[in-house]
């Protein structure tokens, strides 16, 4: 481990956050060595010739060489007993925005938490407190707790660029590998319908990394569609992705083609659209159906889907269950890879 001697400020832990912010704003905080945290105080490495800063004497100390940004935001906070342990270990990063949920007890410390997150993440400019996604358009109530008053951001995933407004559109970075998993299944020349496309991450990834004939990206949210359009242009897939502002209920009237693959990423409500989805399905169609459901209810949901399919003249010849992530205690975000095959007598 390489060490370096530098000027430093020793600050009681209870004062660490405001002092750190001051040092940062004044460009006094060194970023080439690591901050040292001890039981009662924190040592900030600084670049200054002053004898004292904010009434704290400037001393000389050895620091481990390394970047400042690798620190966990929790290290910068000193909350009352019992609350420090409640600080979330996970949160979503979408472009330059962090979305975090806080338990009730931490809400009064939200600003400090927000600043600590900004200070420990190089590219973060805004921190938002979030409620769970809700409503038909799957958006969330957000409150900016630190940083810039900006909810529009640019997220990069597998080299693709997605413009997202975290306040008015849905986007989950946690679905990145799920999108990649679907892309790997798309065969050359397929007609794909992304029925609840949002800002079009599934559609664009398929268009860029597979060879579909066309992808129809449909969404009811005007704001999502506007961003989807920008994203399609920015990722150079205008020829392959057709962005459509519409209600999925009307897809049968809008699309005159039959889909080889349909993506239904509308957890909680996708079931209501399964029948309409099959109305635009090719005789053999893959459906990627997403839901948030308790483990014990999965089998019942599959049975219900089979009944809907039967009424539409289809048999679900294969249903593969993927647990993508846990959502709430005992609830999972699941993806069903369904093969729907038209009955011989109605084919």
Ligand X SMILES: C[S@@+](CC[C@H](N)C(=O)[O-])C[C@H]1O[C@@H](n2cnc3c(N)ncnc32)[C@H](O)[C@@H]1O
Q: Is 196 in the site for ligand X (CB under 6 A)?
A: yes
Using the rule CB under 6 A, give the single segment among 21-29, 99-107, 116-124, 220-228 that binds ligand X.
220-228
Contact present, 64 and 2 (Cβ < 8 Å): yes
Q: What token pair was written down for 225?
A: 């569609």
Half-sphere exposure for 331 (CA within 13 Å, toward CB): 9
* Angle, CA 69 vertex, CA 60 and CA 159 arms, to 5°: 155
Residue span binding ligand X (CB under 6 A) among the ranges 40-48, 50-58, 140-148, 164-172? 164-172
Could you tell me which of 181, 34, 160, 155 has the C-alpha nearest to residue 97?
Answer: 155
Residue 217 makes contact with ligand X by CB under 6 A:
no
Looking at the Cβ atoms of 177 and 303, the one nearer to ligand X is: 177
Tokens of 282: 């090719």
202 scored as a contact of ligand X (CB under 6 A): yes
User: Which of 20, 21, 78, 138 is close enough to bind ligand X by CB under 6 A?
Assistant: 138
Residue 223 is a binding residue for ligand X (CB under 6 A)? no
Q: In this chain, which of 112, 126, 231, 265 binds ligand X, going by CB under 6 A? A: 265
Q: Is 155 in the site for ligand X (CB under 6 A)?
A: no
Please select the residue that binds ligand X; options are 15, 125, 220, 322, rule is CB under 6 A. Answer: 220
Q: Which stretch binds ligand X (CB under 6 A): 147-155, 205-213, 243-251, 253-261?
A: 243-251
Q: How many residues does the chain have?
A: 347
* 292 contacts ligand X (rule: CB under 6 A): no
Task: Choose the stretch contacting ligand X; rule: CB under 6 A; options: 22-30, 62-70, 217-225, 235-243.
Answer: 217-225
DSSP-based three-state secondary structure for 36 = strand
User: Of 197, 205, 232, 309, which lies in the binding site for ligand X, with binding defined by CB under 6 A?
Assistant: 197
Yes or no: say if 30 and 45 are a contact pair by the CB < 8 Å rule. yes
Determine contact, residues 25/7, Cβ cutoff 8 Å.
Answer: no
Shortest separation between residue 218's beta carbon and ligand X, angstroms: 6
Residues 253, 229 contacting (CB under 8 angstroms): no
Which range of residues in 121-129, 141-149, 198-206, 336-344 is near ligand X by CB under 6 A?
A: 198-206
> Which region, judged by CB under 6 A, interacts with ligand X, from 17-25, 170-178, 326-334, 339-347?
170-178
- Of residues 10, 41, 137, 321, which one binds ligand X by CB under 6 A? 137
In order of 15, 49, 108, 126, 134, the CA distances from 59 in angstroms are: 17, 10, 34, 33, 52
Place of tokens 């040092």: 23
218 forms part of the interface with ligand X (CB under 6 A)? yes
Listed as own residue / partner, the contacts of 299-306 with beta carbons closer than 8 Å and 24 or more positions apart are 301/271, 302/336, 304/271, 305/271, 305/274, 305/336, 305/338
Among 44, 63, 109, 170, binds ligand X (CB under 6 A): 170
Q: Does 109 bind ligand X (CB under 6 A)?
A: no
Q: Is 248 in the site for ligand X (CB under 6 A)?
A: yes
DSSP summary character for residue 32: S
Residue pair 66/35 in contact by the 8 Å Cβ criterion: no
Q: How many CA atoms lie within 13 A of 280 on its CB side?
A: 26
Query: In the complex, which residues of this chain contact ligand X (CB under 6 A)?
Result: 136-138, 170-172, 175, 196-198, 201-202, 218-221, 224, 247-249, 265-266
């Amino acid at each position: 481990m390489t060490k370096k001697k530098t000027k430093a400020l020793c600050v009681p832990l209870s004062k660490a956050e405001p002092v750190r912010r001051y040092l940062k704003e004044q460009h006094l905080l060194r970023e080439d060595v690591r901050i040292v945290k001890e039981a009662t105080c924190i040592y900030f490495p600084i670049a200054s010739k002053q004898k004292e800063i904010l009434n704290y004497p400037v001393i000389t100390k050895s620091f481990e060489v390394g970047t400042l940004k690798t620190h966990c935001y929790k290290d910068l906070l000193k909350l009352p007993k019992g609350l420090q342990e409640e600080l979330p270990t996970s949160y979503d990063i979408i472009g330059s925005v962090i979305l975090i949920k806080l338990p009730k007890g931490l809400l009064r410390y939200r600003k400090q938490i927000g600043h600590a997150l900004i200070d420990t993440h190089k590219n973060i400019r805004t921190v938002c407190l979030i409620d769970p996604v809700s409503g038909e358009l799957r958006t969330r109530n957000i409150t900016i707790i630190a940083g810039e008053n900006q909810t529009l951001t640019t997220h990069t995933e597998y080299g693709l660029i997605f413009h997202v407004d975290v306040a008015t559109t849905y986007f989950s970075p946690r679905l990145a590998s799920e999108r990649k998993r679907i892309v790997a299944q798309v065969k050359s020349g397929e007609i794909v319908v992304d029925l609840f496309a949002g800002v079009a991450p599934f559609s664009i990834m398929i268009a860029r990394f597979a060879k579909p004939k066309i992808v129809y990206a449909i969404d009811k949210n005007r704001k999502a569609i506007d961003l989807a359009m920008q994203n399609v242009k920015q990722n150079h897939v205008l020829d392959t992705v057709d962005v459509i502002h519409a209600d999925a209920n009307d897809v049968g009237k809008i699309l005159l083609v039959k889909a080889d693959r349909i993506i239904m990423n509308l957890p909680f409500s996708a079931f209501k659209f399964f029948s309409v989805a099959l109305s635009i399905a090719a005789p053999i169609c893959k459906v990627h159906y997403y839901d948030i459901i308790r483990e014990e209810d999965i089998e019942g949901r599959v049975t219900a889907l089979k009944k809907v399919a039967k009424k539409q003249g289809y048999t679900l010849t294969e249903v593969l269950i993927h647990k993508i992530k846990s959502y709430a205690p005992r609830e999972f975000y699941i993806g069903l890879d369904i093969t729907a095959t038209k009955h011989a007598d109605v084919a």
